[in-house]
Structure 1
Amino acid sequence: MRVGIAGGGLAGLTLAWLLDGTHEVLLLEERPRLGGNAVSFLTTEGGLPYTVDLGVRETPVELSPVWRHLVAEVGLPAEDLVPSSTSRVVFDPREPSARWVSPAACADTARQVTTGGQAYEAMVRLAEESARWEAERMSWDVTFGDVLDSWRLAPAAEHLLCALPASLYGTTLTAARALSARAVGATAAQPDRPGCTTYLRSGTGSLVQGLASGARSATIRLGARLRTVRRAADGLELVETGGAVHRVDAVALALPADRARTVLAGPADMEDRRAGPADTVDWLADLEAVEYRDVTYVLHRDPFGMPGERPAWSASNITLEGQWSETTTWYGPSLGLGLFVSQLGHRSGRPRRELARASFRAAPPTPRASRARHRLGAVRDGQRIFFLGHCTTPVETQEAAMASALAVAHHLAPRGERLRRLPHPDKADD
């Protein structure tokens, strides 16, 4: 079988890697590089080279079995996995003290951790409720605003709970209320103990390179923009904007939803847009339900976006300004570096010592978008066009993107040697 993959991000590359040795693979990536939201930057600190990420920066290993296995499978050494605290502070630079300070990984008596009051109680409740939502597989249709209204919180406590999802998805604090409560809960942390995450010392770019080099039987074409997918007498055809045509037996679209919609809205007929059964929801309508916000991140050396009180500095520092919240990640706890990655858009001021910047697109997980993503990620018998990546997952993580590739690989190559060595993604229908 010849499989065409559109999109060279982590989802598309994972699928190409999994299919190696089982099917012939053609991967088209419209940009001149692979990796998608995995963007690594090489810099020096104290005369030594370091790699830092502007896009995807961290992964909680205990919640990421697929990611952990793939990192090992592509040959990245164990010492490349750097554990770090997920300490967090939320503050308004106009106020004398932070609204929320979480515990840090190390004992620090100077750090004034939030241990009581309305803010603490609200964070505890969110952590407890989000665990229950996931265990009971609560409907994705319940909005965060529905939950907050039932809790009757003070405005300051409500803004605190909206700060993280608003910064993640580039929305206002008010707009965060329209997100799926279950999706918001997936990012919640236990307020009374430090969490732990993992950074790749060599950057996520090393994982991208490992997957690409391991897909030995795949043909990878950079700068190849897919224009449309059309039906052919003996299969499907991928048509590039430059005119090149590639015949394939199956297509995996690891593209943003709007790009996938453009591709499928061309000459492909309705039969090819459906996942087999006549009553399957129209893919075009589901793809249209996934909307995007542009988010820009800047790597810099000066402590822009950090609290005025040095003991409150955290791995994740969320600034509140009016209706907006934006995050600055500090590489001190993980790599011991005076480097920062700041989200820019609505904050007053800018970093003075900028090293690099990159822009990405975040898809807010509204109930409508979450329902659509579940349907797009479903894999059915007889299907020839598949979707993978963040347009199929309600929460945008490296783990979710890779798990979506596993689901497609299980359909296309269920007896593949590489596939058998990896954990199967959770296929519960909720």
Structure 2
Amino acid sequence: MRIGIIGAGAAGLTACWLLSENHDVTLFEKQDRLGGHAQTVEVEQDGQIIPIEAGFEFVMDSMFPTFIKLLGLLEVDLHRYPISATLYSRDQRTLTMMPPFNSGGIVWSALKPYQICNLIQLQLALTFARRLMDDRDTSITIEKYIERLPVLQSFKTHFLYPFLQAQWCVELDEFKQFAAYNALKYSAMNINGLQTPTGVEIVGGTQVYIRALAQASPRAVIKTSADISAITHSGNQYSVREANGQVSDFDHLIVATSPWDALRLLNDVDGMERRRQELSRFGSFKTVIAVHSDRRWMPAEKKYWAVSNMRYDEAYCHNTVWKKWKSPRPIFRSWVTFEKQIPDSLHALVDYQHVKINLDYYQAQQNLITQQGDQHLWLAGLYMHDIDSHESAVMSAVNIARQLDPESVNLGKLSVG
């Protein structure tokens, strides 16, 4: 079969790798690089290149089994590390470390009564959340869920909301409409008592795996800077026209972009009314990431520094990531979307659109899944499987490959469980 794939993020590249061994695959990417939200910024320090992630970053074994297996098949080197966290107010009057350890020892000043109370109530909240995960209940907002929790209101306002909000760095009123299932899953599946969650990172940055995945698809035609100007559909054949005028014909078409880009691409394609209706339900919000060396974006005392440093005020919560093993002198990655000033010692500033994970997200997702393969059109991307994660993007491609080429050797290798 001739298969066209539009979008070379995790979903598009994985679909290409799974399908190109037995089919003629052409992959189109409008940017001049591959990877989508897998974006590594290279910072030079003392003659060395330090890879810092500006896109997706946090990966855990429990939530990313297929993605981690893919990395193993690509023979990508991995590094596991403890994900510590500190949540503190902008005025630094309140601060909670999770767990209250640093450099292998206890930070006694992080064991005040209110801090211990926060940690106990967090475990209680996550115990209830695990029931939500087991039921895969996507019908309740995080606001409604938190309202029902049997914990102190002060804990909800000054700890739980900022702690969860920091994982997306979106406005509080917007965050309250997120699906509780999505907003809680990372924490519920990875935080257990005083045990530090374990993260997995790719040595050399996420671009290492992107390059390896592209190189593992030698039969595919991979085009960058390939902007699509038109898609037409006649019978079971698709014609894809690039901005340079070149036209390619396919038996199946996989659109592996964001939902809003998919909506734009399918806007004039006949027979796509139902898909367009569902795609229009996905909203987005802007995220701005700064890679920098400005210590003012961290807790005032270094003993409180963690991998994830969440600073909050009444409306916003911003996260700064610091991985001390990366470089001799600190390099940080901060969400700065709502900040009035960007950090000093700036190395890079990256912005992208992030999908809103509200109740419409899951309703549209389920409706689109029922339409997969109709008229030989497929949608791939993190919004097409479970929560918004890299694992979901990879799984969306796996689900398509199971339909188009169930005998794929690569698909068999990637199967988990």
Q: TM-score, normalised by structure 2?
A: 0.91
Q: Secondary structure at the match of 1:228?
A: strand
Residue of structure 1 in register with 2:270 after alignment: 269
Alignment-derived partner of residue 125 in structure 2 = 126
- Secondary structure of 2:186's aligned partner: coil
Report matched runs for 1:344-423 at 5 Å: 344-378=336-370, 380=372, 384-423=376-415
What is the aligned partner in structure 2 of residue 75 from structure 1?
Answer: 75
Residue 428 of structure 1 is matched in structure 2 by: none
Give the deviation of 1:85 after TM superposition: 1.3
Q: Distance in 1 between matches of 2:16 and 2:353?
A: 23
CA contact (8 A) 1:228 1:262 kept: no
User: In 2, Cα distance between the equivalents of 1:398 and 1:325?
Assistant: 23
CA contact (8 A) 1:92 1:99 kept: no
What is the CA-CA distance between 1:109 and the residue it aligns to?
A: 2.1
Distance 1:159 1:225 in 2: 46
**Whole-angstrom distance in 1 between the partners of 2:16 and 2:226:** 16
Aligned counterparts, 1:10-409, within 5 A = 10-76=10-76, 80-99=77-96, 101-104=98-101, 107-110=104-107, 112-113=109-110, 117=114, 118-138=117-137, 140-151=138-149, 153-188=152-187, 189-233=191-235, 235-266=237-268, 268-270=269-271, 273=272, 282-332=274-324, 338-378=330-370, 380=372, 384-409=376-401
CA drift of 1:304 comes to 3.3
1:320, distance to aligned residue in structure 2 (A): 0.5
| 8 Å CA contact 2:182, 2:387 repeated in 1 | yes
Q: Secondary structure at the match of 1:297?
A: strand
Give CA-to-partner distance per residue, 1:288-313, whole Å, 9 cap, x none: 11111111111112323211122111
Contact preservation (8 Å) 2:87, 2:96: yes
Report the Cα distance in structure 1 between the residues aligned to 2:195 and 2:416, rounded to whole angstroms: 30
**CA shift at 1:181, angstroms?**
0.8
Residues 383, 392 of structure 2: 8 Å contact kept: no
8 Å contact from structure 2 (residues 20, 220) kept in 1: yes
Between the aligned partners of 2:186 and 2:111, the Cα distance in structure 1 is: 19
Cα 1:3–1:104 change in 2 (3 A) is farther
CA distance in 1, matches of 2:40, 2:260: 25
2:19–2:408 CA contact under 8 A, matched in 1: yes
Q: Which amino acid counterpart does residue 262 of structure 1 have in structure 2?
A: R
Alpha-carbon distance, 1:96 to partner:
2.4
Distance 1:308 1:249 in 2: 59
Query: Matches of 2:8 and 2:399 in 1, distance apart?
Result: 17
Deviations 1:149-170 (CA, angstroms, capped at 9, x unpaired)? 2226414533422224433334
Give, in angstroms, the shift of residue 23 of structure 1: 0.8
In the comparison of the two structures, how many residue pairs are matched?
Answer: 411
1:26 Cα deviation from its structure 2 partner? 0.8
Determine helix, strand or coil for the equivalent of 2:90. Answer: coil
SS at match of 2:414: coil
Per-residue deviation, 1:335 = 6.3
Greater Cα offset, 339-348 or 103-112: 103-112
Letter in 2 for 1:365: I
* Alignment match, 1:278: none
Distance 1:3 1:133, change over 3 A: same
Contact 2:382 2:390 in 1 (8 A): no
Secondary structure of 2:172's match? coil
Q: Give how far 1:236 is off.
A: 1.5
* Cα distance, 1:110 vs structure 2: 2.6
Letter in 2 for 1:318: M
Comparing 368-377 and 148-157, the one that deviates more = 148-157
Contact 1:115 1:192 in 2 (8 A): no
Tell me the secondary structure at the aligned position of residue 62 of structure 1: coil
Q: CA RMSD in A?
A: 2.3
Q: Is the 8 A contact 1:111 1:311 kept in 2?
A: no
Is contact 2:169-2:319 (8 Å) kept?
A: no
2:169, 2:335 within 8 Å by CA — same for their partners in 1?
Answer: no
Determine the C-alpha separation between the residues in 1 that align with 2:400 and 2:416: 11
- Structure 1 residues 364, 255: closer, same or farther in 2, change over 3 A? same
> Unmatched 5+ residue regions in structure 1?
275-281, 426-430
- What secondary structure does 1:63 align onto? coil
1:102/1:113 contact within 8 Å kept: no
Q: 1:17 to 1:115 in 2, by over 3 A?
A: farther
SS for the counterpart of 2:378 is strand
The range that moved more, 117-126 or 340-349, is: 117-126
The TM-score normalised by the length of structure 1 is: 0.89
Q: For the structure 1 residues 192 and 110, does the alpha-carbon distance in structure 2 shift closer, same or farther, using more than 3 Å as the test? A: closer
**Counterparts of 2:369 and 2:83 in 1: how far apart (Å)?**
30
CA offset at residue 18 of structure 1? 1.0
**Given the superposition, is the C-alpha separation of residues 305 and 378 from structure 1 closer, same or farther in structure 2, using an over 3 Å criterion?**
farther
List gaps (5 residues or longer) in structure 2. none
- The answer to which of 6-15 and 59-68 deviates more is 59-68
